[in-house]
Amino acid sequence: MQDEHSLVREAQQGNAGAFAKIYETYFDRVFRYVVVRVGNTAEAEDITQDVFLRALDSIRSFQWRGVPFSAWLFRIAHNLLTDRLRSRGRHEEIALDDEMPLADTRQDPSAFVEIKISVEQMLVSMQNLTDAQRQVLALRFGSGLSITETAEAMKKNEGAIKALQHSAVQALRRHLARAPTATGKQP
Amino acid sequence: MTAQQRMDDILNECIDRLARGETVEACLARYPEHAPELRPLLLVARATLTATAQITPRAEFRMAARHRFLDALAARHAREREAFLSGPWLRRWGAVTAGVALLVVIGSGTVAAAETSLPLEPLYTVKQATEAFQVALAPEGSAKAKVYAQLAARRLEEISTLARQGDVQSVDQLTSQFEGHLDNATLAVTRTSPERTAASESAPAPAATPASSAAPATAPVTATPSVSPVQAAQPAASPTPSAAPAAAPVTATPIASVPPAQAVRPAASPTPSAAPAARPAAPAATPTPVARPTPATGPAIRQPAATPTVPAGAKEKAPVKAVKPAAHPSAQNLRDVHDVVKRNAEQQIAVLEKSLREAPAPAKPALERALEKANKKYSQAIRSLEKLEQREQEREDRRDR
């Protein structure tokens, strides 16, 4: 099995097939990251596409130097998000839509209510966090990055990321607790 | 280390464990002294992991984004080619040439045009990318096997075309790629078959081929089937909308599969890669479910099964197993793959033999080698598929009785 290092190197050398595999590997993870950050599917779709187009344009400038490729890619996503939000003059606005893609749980209506509410509650509550808290949760929970990769992506040390993660989960808990969950239980 | 830092570490470790499928109670049992403080945080973490795993791109968006990306890949290669061609000796023609080239290449038919491209042509890299997507899109099992079988046939078509043109520069590389594709076709159904252990013994071992010979789309399905977080989070009885034909393949994409990707270099990229390309490995007898590749840098969060938040104190259900194994192919599925491979073998061998008669003399030795390998590899693949099909038929007969 080819490792990510050689795959990235080949993509840098112009191998489109290698880049296509990178794209497939990261597409869903980047999308989830962006959705968690912006809470808006339409905008998340635009930004996700732009992340990969930007990565395609600049992959030759990527140098390993101890930085995981995932950290570099999610930095691009972060920068695009920041630019987008700044250009629109919005930082904490939430625009949840009705078309939020959710897993189909039609066979279990009770589960559908639970999951649908969970996603929306989670996204709404996320908007009450600080940008850094939202970012750490998006990277760790949305995209499945390790603590090391998250630290690289956010340009902080691991200890700071763990502390930030702790405060983010606490803050999320506080906001979730204000609204009853689907099952009527409060975390 | 302060008490706060200690708590940060514990929470972080527990989050990683939850993401790997461990229960909240199991995490709390590791740190009973911190349980009162940890429990509410872990319940939130668990709910958040479950919720985020439910977020998945719309199938239409996924397809549109993929097309846009392929167009961008094509445009990039057009630009590189333009840069190559508009050197000082061609500069005065540059503006016109570049404009025309870009208009031609970026047109709506880029991907379609790439379908007929040959190694060393500018659009061949787009063809490779398209093929990589085809492999990624195909569901595990017989569907993926058929894709690989068609890619194998494509490589032989290219060999025939190139040889008739007297160009044998890429024939050996394409032959190796053909062998890799056909190995992967067999492995794709072997891996998902309940008879995998026995079948893998009879499946053709992937030939050791030069590092530079593996095509991007020869990406073998990894022996350890892995699933995307979204897939991992799907309740077994509740397929997502993306489980519909258009999108299901993507959730089945083996994320951990980072396949050999050394390509035949296009003219615009003269530097050959020295990357060693691993050949497809024979399937492990007992695949280990893995939710996502673990980065070398540390444990990554993996999405847990989508289970509802459990109230404090309640006994948690065991998490849904992260890996949803691909349905093993039925005898009919195996027969379909067998038919495709057999039909391709007949057609492509005939074409190669015809090309051998028509090819200029300097091209004949390379073409003879390709023909010999094609005959051998197709025979192996057909034998393996016949055995698999026979075993599966016997198994189904026993079950019916």
Residue among B364, B383, B355, B344 nearest B181 (CA): B344
With an 8 Å Cβ cutoff, are A111 and B235 in contact?
yes
**CB atoms near residue B144 (< 10 Å):** 28
Name residue A120's amino acid: E
Q: Give percent of chain B with pLDDT exceeding 90.
A: 17
Question: Which residue of A2, A19, A162 is in closest CB contact with B12?
Answer: A162
Q: Is pLDDT at B224 greater than 60 in this prediction?
A: no
From CA B128, how far away is CA B261, in angstroms rounded?
A: 10
With an 8 Å Cβ cutoff, are A17 and B48 in contact?
no
Instruction: Report the half-sphere exposure of B323 (CA within 13 A, side-chain side).
Output: 19
Strand partners, B298: none
From CA B375, how far away is CA B369, in angstroms rounded?
A: 10
Q: Is pLDDT at B9 greater than 50 in this prediction?
A: yes
With an 8 Å Cβ cutoff, are B261 and A2 in contact?
yes
From CA B122, how far away is CA B387, in angstroms rounded?
A: 41
From CA B137, how far away is CA B134, in angstroms rounded?
A: 5
Residues of chain B contacting residue A104, judged by C-beta atoms under 8 Å apart: 238-241, 243
* ipTM metric: 0.81
From CA B18, how far away is CA B323, in angstroms rounded?
A: 16
CATH of domain A4-178: 1.10.1740.10
Handedness of CA A97, A99, A100, A105 (dihedral sign): positive
Q: Which B residues in the span 321-360 are in contact with A, Cβ-Cβ below 8 Å?
A: none
Residues of chain B contacting residue A23, judged by C-beta atoms under 8 Å apart: 66, 69
Residues of chain A contacting residue B258, judged by C-beta atoms under 8 Å apart: 1-4, 7, 21, 25
What is the per-residue pLDDT across B124-151, written as a single tens digit (0 to 9) for each?
777 877 787 777 777 778 888 999 999 9
What is the per-residue pLDDT across A60-119, written as a single tens digit (0 to 9) for each?
888 877 788 999 999 999 999 988 888 776 544 444 444 444 444 333 333 332 334 467
From CA B106, how far away is CA A126, in angstroms rounded?
A: 41
DSSP string for B63-95: HHHHHHHHHHHHHHHHHHHHHHHTSGGGHHHHH
DSSP string for B120-138: TSTTHHHHHHHHHHHHHHS
Environment class of residue B348 by beta-carbon count within 10 Å: exposed (0-12), middle (13-18) or buried (19+)? buried
How big is the CA angle at A163 (ends A158 and A169), to the nearest 5 degrees?
125
What are the DSSP E strand ranges found in A39-159? none
Q: Is pLDDT at B208 greater than 60 in this prediction?
A: no
Backbone angles phi, psi at B140, to 5 degrees: -60, 155
Question: Which residue of B48, B62, B216 is in closest CB contact with A15?
Answer: B216
Residue indicated by tokens 């080619």: B81
What is the per-residue pLDDT across B25-72, written as a single tens digit (0 to 9) for each?
999 999 999 999 999 899 889 889 988 988 999 988 988 888 888 888
Q: Considering just the CA atoms, what is the radius of gyration of chain A in Å?
A: 18
Question: Which residue of A15, A70, A181 is in closest CB contact with B309?
Answer: A181
With an 8 Å Cβ cutoff, are A20 and B129 in contact?
yes
Asked if B172 and B211 count as a contact pair (C-beta separation under 8 A), the reply is: no
Query: How much is the pLDDT for B116?
Result: 77
With an 8 Å Cβ cutoff, are B72 and A53 in contact?
yes
**CB atoms near residue B376 (< 10 Å):** 13
Mutation for testing the B interface, residue in A115, A125, A145, A178 having most B CBs under 10 Å: A115
Residues of chain A contacting residue B38, judged by C-beta atoms under 8 Å apart: none
Q: Give percent of chain B with pLDDT exceeding 70.
A: 56
| A–B interface: beta-carbon pairs under 8 A | 287
Backbone angles phi, psi at B251, to 5 degrees: -65, -20
Query: How much is the pLDDT for A168?
Result: 95
* Paired tokens of B290: 């893995």
Average pLDDT along chain B: 67
Handedness of CA B170, B175, B179, B182 (dihedral sign): positive
Residues of chain A contacting residue B132, judged by C-beta atoms under 8 Å apart: 17, 20-21, 24
Question: Which residue of B8, B53, B73 is in closest CB contact with A19?
Answer: B73
CA A89 to chain B, closest CA, distance in angstroms equals 26
Residue among B253, B300, B42, B254 nearest A142 (CA): B300
Cα dihedral A125, A149, A10, B288, rounded to 10, equals -90
Query: How much is the pLDDT for A65?
Result: 78
Between B312 and B84, the higher pLDDT residue:
B84
From CA A185, how far away is CA B310, in angstroms rounded?
A: 9
Question: Which residue of B68, B219, B295 is in closest CB contact with A68?
Answer: B295
Does the CB of B258 have a partner CB in chain A at under 8 Å? yes
How many helices and strands (H and E) does chain B possess?
A: 14, 0
CA B360 to chain A, closest CA, distance in angstroms equals 31
What is the per-residue pLDDT across B106-129, written as a single tens digit (0 to 9) for each?
444 666 667 777 877 767 777 877
